[in-house]
Amino acid sequence: MPISESMVQEIVQEVMAKMQIAEAPAGKHGIFRDMNDAIEASKKAQAIVKRMSMDQREKILTCIRRKTKENAEILARMAVDETGMGNVGDKILKHHLVADNTPGTEDITTTAWSGDRGLTLIEMGPFGVIGAITPCTNPSETILCNTIGMVAGGNTVVFNPHPAAIKTSIYAINLVNEASLEAGGPDNIAVTVEKPTLETSNIMMKHKDIPLIAATGGPGVVTAVLSSGKRGIGAGAGNPPALVDETADVRKAAQDIVNGCTFDNNLPCIAEKEIVAVSSIMDELMHYLITENDCYLASKEEQDKLVNIVLAGGKLNRKCVGRDARTLLSMIGVDAPANIRCIVFEGPKEHPLIAEELMMPILGVVRAKDFDDAVEQAVWLEHGNRHSAHIHSKNIDNITKYARAIDTAILVKNAPSYAALGFGGEGYCTFTIASRTGEGLTSASTFTKRRRCVMSDSLCIR
C-alpha cells in the first residue's frame, strides 16, 4: 500500500512524541521548555557546526552581524522596557560595537614549529557545547557577542540568561538562529529555556555534555561556576576607579570620566564608578565636573538620602541600577535641571556610595594627599576584582606604577572607559571580560582547546 503524506506526518508526530523532543514556541528558534532538551538540540547543532569549513562559519557570523545591526534599535528598546535600565541611544551603539568589533574566525590561528625532526602544529579546536550565563545589564549584547565568538570557534552555546531580561534574550537567541538558517547553517546554534532559573542553571552546569561554562555577572554566579567541577570562564564584578594626578589635562579628564561614567547610565562593568584625585588638582576637577559636564553636586543630606534609597537595608536596590541621574535625584525629592547627567560629591573611600559597585551615574570623588596615596586608595576601591581601572596622567612613571599596583584586566589611560571596548580606542570588543579567571577580554580563541598535532621526521620542507 503506498504511504500518503498524511500518514508520514502522523508517523513523524508519533515518533516525536515518543522521543519527547520539545519544540520551540511558535516562530521562535532555539527556545525550549526543558533545559535537557535545549542541551540535546545544541549538541546536534554542534555536530554540524564542527564539520563546517571556516568559510561556512564565517558566513553565519556575517549574517548575525547584519541582523544585529538591523535589530539594534528593537533590542535596545526592548532591553530598556524590560529591565528599566540603561538608555536606548547607548544600547544601540553597544549593539553596533558588537556587530562590527567582535572577532570571528580570524581569531582562530595555528602555531607551527618546523625543523629537522618534522612539523608540529598547535591548532585551536572547539570545546563542543558551551554553557553561558548572562547578565541583565547587557543582555542581548552579551548573547550576541558570546555567540559570535563561540560559533567562530566551532562550538554551539546553551544560555541561561538573567530572568529579568528573558524577553530580550529570547529575541537575540532567535535572531542568531535565523541568521544561521539564512546562511545555510543549522538551527539551534544558540539555545535557551523559556523560563531560566537557578535550577535550569544547575542542570546546565552539571550536564555531562557541557565541558565549559562562561559566566558573566556578579560574584555569586562566578563562584557558583567555579565550584561546578567544570572548566569555568569567570567574568565577574568590578568597581573601576578613575585616578587623576597632578600632570593630567584636568579639563579633558573631567569630560572623559563623565562620558564613560554616564554611558548606558553606568551599566557597563568597565565604567568609571568613582574618582580618586590628588589634592592639588581636586578643586579644579570638581569645577570642571560641575560647570562643564552637567554634574550635580550632592549635599551631605542628599548623599544620606541617596544611601537610604540606593542601598536600602544594606542591599543594592535594583530599582536604582541603570537609572539616569535625574531619576535618581527625583527619588530623593530633587527636581534637577534637564541637563544633569551625573551626581558627584567628595567623600572618603569608605563612603557606601563610593565603595560599592552601584552601576548608576553617581561618582564619589576621593581626595588623596599625593600620587602614592591615590594609588593605595584606588587599589583598595578595586577590591581585588582585577577587573578595570582608569588613569588620567601625562607621567609615564606614574602610569606604570599604577598599572603594576592595580593589576587589572583593563587599564584605560586618558580616555573614557569605553575605549577599552574599541569605542574611541584600538582593539576588539567583548562583553565578557574574564577578570576572575584571567583570560581577560574574551574572543573566539578563548572558547577553544589547544591541540598539538605532530608529524615526526616528515613534512619539514626547508
217 binds ligand NAD (CB under 6 A): yes
Residue ranges in 344-426 assigned as alpha helix (H):
352-355, 371-382, 396-406
Least CB distance from residue 210 to ligand NAD, whole Å? 14
Q: Which is nearer to ligand NAD, 235 or 275 (CB)?
A: 235
218 binds ligand NAD (CB under 6 A): yes
Contact code string over 251-290 relative to ligand NAD, x by CB under 6 A = ------------------x---------------------
Q: Which residues contact 351 (CB under 8 A, 6 or more apart)?
A: 303, 364
432 binds ligand NAD (CB under 6 A): yes
Distance CA 183, CA 65 (A): 12
68 binds ligand NAD (CB under 6 A): no
Name the one residue in this structure whose C-alpha cell is 581601572.
389
CA distances to 117, 202, 293, 315 from 265, rounded to whole Å, are 58, 32, 15, 20
Q: Are 265 and 247 in contact (CB under 8 A)?
A: no
Could you tell me which of 234, 266, 267 has the C-alpha nearest to residue 386? Answer: 234
CA distances to 192, 409, 430, 441 from 399, rounded to whole Å, are 43, 15, 24, 21
Least CB distance from residue 164 to ligand NAD, whole Å? 7
435 binds ligand NAD (CB under 6 A): yes
What is the C-alpha radius of gyration for the chain, rounded to an integer number of angstroms?
Answer: 24
Q: Which is nearer to ligand NAD, 239 or 398 (CB)?
A: 239
> Which span (8-16, 52-60, 215-223, 338-346) binds ligand NAD, by CB under 6 A?
215-223
Contact code string over 106-145 relative to ligand NAD, x by CB under 6 A = ---------------------------xxxxxx-------
Rule CB under 6 A: choose which of 108, 368, 433, 444 binds ligand NAD: 433
Least CB distance from residue 50 to ligand NAD, whole Å? 27
Rule CB under 6 A: choose which of 224, 226, 258, 320 binds ligand NAD: 224
94 binds ligand NAD (CB under 6 A): no
Q: Which is nearer to ligand NAD, 125 or 211 (CB)?
A: 211
Least CB distance from residue 12 to ligand NAD, whole Å? 36
Least CB distance from residue 232 to ligand NAD, whole Å? 11
Q: Are 244 and 284 in contact (CB under 8 A)?
A: no
Could you tell me which of 419, 390, 386 has the C-alpha nearest to residue 402? Answer: 390
Q: Are 65 and 145 in contact (CB under 8 A)?
A: no
Q: Which residues pair with 80 in a beta bridge?
A: none
H or E element in which residue 410 lies = strand 410-413
Contact code string over 238-257 relative to ligand NAD, x by CB under 6 A = x-------------------
Least CB distance from residue 217 to ligand NAD, whole Å? 2
Distance CA 349, CA 294 (A): 23
Of all residues in the shown chain, the one whose CB is closest to ligand NAD is 217
**Contacts of ligand NAD in 173-212 (CB under 6 A):** 198, 201
Q: Which is nearer to ligand NAD, 154 or 217 (CB)?
A: 217
C-alpha cell at position 57: 562559519
- DSSP for 308-366, written as a single string: HHHTGGGS--TTTTT--HHHHHHHTT----TT--EEEEE--TTSHHHHS---SSEEEEE
Q: Which residues contact ligand NAD by CB under 6 A?
A: 133-138, 161-162, 198, 201, 216-218, 220-221, 224, 235-238, 269, 357, 431-433, 435
